[in-house]
């Protein structure tokens, strides 16, 4: 029997090797066709007396990424189409569809023949759930092997048996941590948890897997045997009493109740461990159906699964421009930002010239890379040879002539127009005509900087976020004369260094900083109102932000906030900045010398480690404190989310961002805008424009003009539109193809 996505070869010992290798796909994923074929293969193995057992592996470098995103999209689309006609029928359809994969894996593990999963690379989501349904699991001893059930990160949870098999194999505490965090497991970690049986040399992976069957692997899972006992003991036991109440409290502390899927995982595990395995699967299926109907799941799947993948694959890349294979990249400025850019470039295997005013400064920049990679080696995340290879790719220099031959130069010098002008002119003097010049600026408009260039078509902005090695987003900024090729090269570069690109048009603060400044500004306003600082920070975190606005201001520097305010006043006039907020920041910087984390004191005090930072007690003396009991905590949360979302809506109205996917993904990756909402625009779409405008109006009456909804939102509210309907990114792509 032949298959499109699998090959089945039976050896002399009667062991079938099932190799998953989807044609024209870089990674194996579960599709309807794949599940149909696997179903037939299970029947083939079970029904052939000559086959003693089966090993399933991948013909690619990775094992599988799990479910195909189009399957999830289709599941939700069919549900919403059917729901418009008959809600109960729609829910039944969703329930049946949600249980299909779980039923397939249950069929595999009860087929009567032993199955072994030979995991040769990345094994995620449904693929790991399938592996857990196999009677034996072997992973290659390789850095390429990562196993995880990461569904909670996109608003859902492992709904094909993951919540039932993991806690029956691993101790319940480790199981809950893995399931609710979506953490990656190395082969060693997975073996330590009891989720895999063996680790083999990559060359001996299949041999080791087959040996398990030859040595008499039982075709029965532990939970299907009489007398099976849970690894952590019964739920109703002393051990259970010590686990479950704290687990619920910890989840509440970590998520503030914003992630329904994480709560559902706890319910699935708790309830599932009280009943037989098949009943547990039914409970999981029920909760999965419930979670798939939530706004959080719909928005997170769209932004953090579908849109993120599309942007990472170059959704905004101009068509008809040949891809760039980078042979050499230049970085101007070896300070903290430039050194970080050099590091991620070299880490991607691209030779980089790191230039500064003198060799000492350039060498210091390279030392930053040495420090970062040494730390990775120390933690076991990189090898000594990786360090040697990376450092060999970085050439420190003070001579602009060394930029000759660069495909791209990234300028990261001091944020001063004159300094940037000089760097641009000196670099262009030695660059080949086709080279692209990219300025890493966070405040100066790209069109203004491009006036220093003889080739404005090849001039573009690339805005990195600090620290470069950890932040996943890069804003690509188009000047008025930036050409398609420059944009394509910039996107190719950002993808090469494994970061997500978003494309924005030129404006002060671009997209991300405009939103971030609103976040900080609202916190300053609350302080001035007399809201206690701890309440401000807690409200922001409870709203879903990873870092409170006062802590974030400290990280970016309080004196930088002062410089931005002063520059804004110089450029736009006194009315552009709230005088009370200016006074607050001046008091912090000029009167108290509190510059932020960099000098150990800002809105927080930063004592020597291991002591933790704590809010500066002097904050409560700056303004008369209101009674916390009389402050609406929910309203504080709303203010933070609404003020940021309104700025994102203005950015769309002004045409600074034109694709809602970029606004959403950018807001989450750059500053952690409440991921459960799906991002700034999905927050509005999830609530509905009409309801959002009403909320904004009520906040405007109380707190002022920053909550005034733009005309765009009023228009959308009247028409009942969403951002993804109004600015449909797929319609634009289809229109281009048609043209």
Predicted confidence at residue 550, as pLDDT, reads 97
pLDDT at 54 over 80: yes
Q: Would you place residue 437 in the very low, low, confident or very high pLDDT band (cuts 50, 70, 90)?
A: very high
**What mean pLDDT comes out for the span 184-196?**
96
Of 520, 516, 527, the C-alpha closest to 647 is: 516
Model pLDDT, residue 438: 96
Query: Tell me, which fold does domain 329-510 have in CATH?
Result: Rossmann fold (3.40.50)
Q: pLDDT above 90 covers what percent of the chain? A: 86
Domain 6-293 is found in CATH 3.90.226.10: yes
Residue ranges of the chain assigned to CATH 3.90.226.10: 6-293
pLDDT score of 733:
63
Tokens matching residue 499: 């970061």
Residue 329: its H or E element: strand 329-332
Is it the case that residue 222 has pLDDT exceeding 70?
yes
* 611 touches 551 (CB < 8 A): no
**For the whole prediction, is pTM greater than 0.85?**
yes
- What's the pLDDT score for residue 734? 64
Q: Count the neighbouring beta carbons within 10 Å of the beta carbon of residue 731.
A: 11
Find the helix or strand (DSSP H, E) in which 123 lies.
strand 123-124
Encoding tokens for residue 455? 């080739």
Residue 548 contacts residue 541 (beta carbons within 8 Å): yes
> For residue 109, is pLDDT > 90?
yes
Ranges for all domains in the chain classified under CATH 3.40.50.720: 329-510
Q: What is the mean pLDDT of residues 83-100?
A: 91
- The whole-angstrom separation of Cα 293 and Cα 78 is 12
Query: Which of 427, 429, 430 has the alpha carbon at shortest distance from 438?
Result: 427
Q: Which helix (H) or strand (E) holds 689?
A: helix 689-703
Task: Assess whether pLDDT exceeds 80 at residue 230.
Answer: yes
Buried/exposed 620-655: b ≥16 CB within 10 Å, e otherwise: eebbeeeeeeebeeeebbbbbbbbbbbbbbbbbeee
Q: How confident is the model at residue 572 (pLDDT cuts 50, 70, 90)?
A: confident
Q: Which two tokens stand for residue 689?
A: 């424009």
Per-residue pLDDT tens digits for 653-697 = 999 999 999 999 999 999 999 999 999 999 999 999 999 999 999
**Tokens encoding 330:** 């230049």
Catalytic annotation, residues: 442, 463, 475, 513
Sign of torsion over alpha carbons 498, 503, 509, 511: negative
Question: Terminal CA-to-CA distance of the chain, rounded, Å?
Answer: 44
On the question of pLDDT at 722 being above 90, the answer is yes
Is it the case that residue 408 has pLDDT exceeding 60?
A: yes
Distances (CA, A) of 454 to 424, 451, 458: 9, 8, 9
- Confidence category of residue 466, pLDDT binned at 50, 70, 90: confident
Going across the sheet that includes 6-10, the strands are 6-10, 15-20, 53-58, 115-119, 136-140, 198-200
Chain segment 236-287, per-residue pLDDT in tens: 999 889 999 999 999 999 999 999 999 999 999 999 999 999 999 999 999 9
Q: Three-class SS string for 373-425? A: HHHHHHCCCCCHHHHHHHHHCEEEECCHHHHCCCCEEEECCCCCHHHHHHHHH
Tell me which long-range contacts 67-73 makes (C-beta under 8 A, separation of at least 24).
67/29, 67/30, 67/101, 67/125, 67/126, 68/29, 68/30, 68/31, 69/301, 69/305, 69/306, 69/309, 70/31, 71/30, 71/31, 71/32, 72/156, 72/301, 72/305, 72/306, 73/301, 73/306
Phi, psi dihedral angles at 53 (to 5 degrees): 175, 175
Buried/exposed code over 532-556 (b: 16+ C-beta within 10 A; e: otherwise): bbebbbbbbbbbbbebbbbbbbbeb
Across the chain, mean pLDDT equals 94
* pLDDT > 90? residue 68: no
List beta partners, residue 119. Answer: 139
Residues of the chain with CATH 1.10.1040.50: 513-726
| CA–CA gap between residue 411 and residue 208 (Å, rounded) | 52
CATH class of the 513-726 domain in this structure: mainly alpha
Residue 481 has which token pair?
């004369």
Q: Please spell the DSSP secondary structure of 437-453, one letter per residue.
A: EEE--SSS-HHHHHTT-
**Pick from 38, 210, 8: which is nearest to 107 by CA?**
38
Q: What is the Cβ-side half-sphere exposure of residue 488, based on CA atoms within 13 angstroms?
A: 13
Q: Write down the pLDDT at residue 738.
A: 56
Q: Is the pLDDT reported for residue 556 higher than 90? A: no
pLDDT one-digit tens code per residue, 614-662: 999 999 999 999 999 999 999 999 999 999 999 999 999 999 999 999 9
Count CB atoms within 10 A of the CB of residue 575.
8
The residue that leads in pLDDT, 573 or 342, is: 342
Strand partners, 447: none
Closest CA to 567 of 443, 477, 656, 449: 443
Query: Does residue 635 or residue 739 have the better pLDDT?
Result: 635
CB contact at 8 A, 519 and 652: no
- Confidence (pLDDT) at 737: 59
739 — pLDDT class (breaks 50, 70, 90): low
CB 460 within 8 A of CB 436: yes
Give the model's pLDDT for residue 612: 92
Reported confidence tier of residue 444, pLDDT bands at 50, 70, 90: confident
């Amino acid at each position: 029997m032949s298959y499109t996505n699998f090959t089945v070869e039976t050896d002399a010992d009667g062991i079938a090797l099932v190799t998953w290798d989807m044609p024209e796909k870089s990674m194996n994923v579960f599709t309807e066709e794949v599940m149909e074929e696997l179903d037939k293969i299970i029947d083939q193995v079970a029904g052939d007396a000559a086959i003693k057992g089966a090993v399933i592996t991948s013909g690619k470098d990775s094992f599988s990424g799990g479910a195909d995103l189009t399957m999830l999209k289709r599941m939700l689309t069919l549900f919403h189409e059917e729901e418009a006609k008959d809600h109960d029928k729609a829910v039944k359809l969703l329930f049946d569809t949600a249980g299909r994969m779980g039923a397939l894996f249950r069929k595999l593990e009860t087929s009567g023949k032993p199955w072994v999963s030979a995991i040769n690379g990345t094994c995620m989501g449904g693929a790991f759930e399938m592996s857990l349904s196999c009677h034996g699991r072997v992973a290659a001893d390789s850095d390429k092997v990562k196993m995880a059930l990461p569904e909670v990160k996109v608003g859902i949870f492992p709904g094909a048996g993951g919540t039932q098999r993991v806690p029956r194999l691993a101790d319940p505490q480790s199981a809950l941590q893995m399931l609710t965090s979506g953490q990656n497991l190395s082969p060693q970690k997975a073996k330590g948890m009891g989720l895999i049986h063996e680790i083999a040399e990559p060359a001996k992976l299949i041999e080791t897997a087959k040996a398990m069957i030859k040595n008499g692997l039982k075709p029965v899972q532990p939970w299907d045997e009489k007398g099976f006992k849970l690894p952590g003991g019964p739920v109703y036991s002393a051990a259970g009493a010590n686990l479950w109440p704290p687990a619920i409290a910890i989840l509440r502390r970590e998520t503030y109740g914003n992630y329904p899927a994480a709560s559902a995982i706890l319910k699935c595990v708790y309830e599932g461990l009280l009943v037989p395995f098949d009943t547990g699967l039914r409970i999981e299926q029920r909760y999965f159906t419930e979670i798939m109907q939530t706004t959080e799941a719909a928005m997170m799947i769209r932004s953090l699964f579908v849109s993120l993948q599309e942007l990472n694959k170059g959704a905004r890349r101009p068509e008809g421009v040949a891809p760039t294979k980078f042979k050499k990249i230049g970085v101007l400025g070896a300070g903290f930002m430039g050194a970080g850019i050099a590091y991620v470039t070299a880490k991607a295997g691209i030779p980089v010239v790191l230039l500064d005013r003198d060799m000492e400064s350039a060498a210091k920049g390279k030392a930053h890379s040495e420090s970062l990679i040494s730390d990775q080696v120390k933690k076991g995340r990189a090898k000594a040879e990786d360090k040697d290879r990376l450092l060999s790719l970085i050439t420190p220099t003070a001579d602009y002539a060394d930029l000759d031959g660069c495909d791209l130069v990234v300028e990261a010098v001091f944020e001063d127009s004159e300094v940037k002008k000089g760097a641009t002119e000196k670099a262009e003097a030695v660059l080949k005509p086709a080279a692209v010049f990219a300025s890493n600026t966070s405040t100066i408009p790209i069109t203004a900087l491009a006036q220093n260039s003889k080739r404005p078509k090849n001039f573009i902005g690339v805005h990195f976020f600090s620290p470069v090695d950890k932040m996943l987003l890069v804003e690509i900024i188009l000047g008025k004369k930036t050409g398609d090729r420059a944009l394509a090269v910039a996107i190719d570069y950002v993808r090469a260094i494994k970061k997500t690109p978003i494309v924005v048009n030129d404006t002060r603060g671009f997209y991300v900083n405009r939103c971030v400044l609103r976040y900080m500004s609202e916190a300053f306003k609350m302080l001035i109102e007399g809201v206690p600082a701890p309440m401000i920070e807690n409200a922001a975190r409870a709203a879903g932000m990873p870092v409170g606005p006062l802590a974030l201001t400290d990280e970016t520097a309080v004196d930088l906030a002062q410089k931005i305010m002063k520059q804004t006043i110089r450029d736009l006039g006194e009315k552009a900045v709230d005088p009370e907020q200016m006074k607050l920041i001046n008091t912090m910087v000029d009167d108290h010398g509190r510059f932020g984390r960099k000098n150990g004191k800002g809105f927080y005090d930063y004592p020597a480690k291991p002591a933790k930072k704590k809010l500066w007690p002097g904050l409560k003396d700056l303004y008369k404190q209101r009674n916390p009991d009389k402050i609406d905590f929910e309203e504080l949360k709303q203010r933070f989310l609404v003020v940021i979302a309104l700025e994102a809506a203005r950015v769309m109205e002004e045409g600074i961002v034109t694709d809602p996917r970029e606004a959403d993904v950018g807001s989450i990756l750059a500053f952690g805008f409440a991921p459960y909402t799906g991002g700034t625009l999905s927050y509005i779409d999830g609530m509905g424009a009409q309801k959002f405008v009403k909320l904004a109006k009520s906040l405007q009456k109380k707190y002022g003009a920053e909550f005034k909804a733009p005309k765009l939102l009023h228009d959308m509210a009247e028409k009942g539109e969403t951002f993804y309907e109004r600015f449909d990114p797929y319609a634009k792509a289809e229109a281009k193809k048609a043209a």
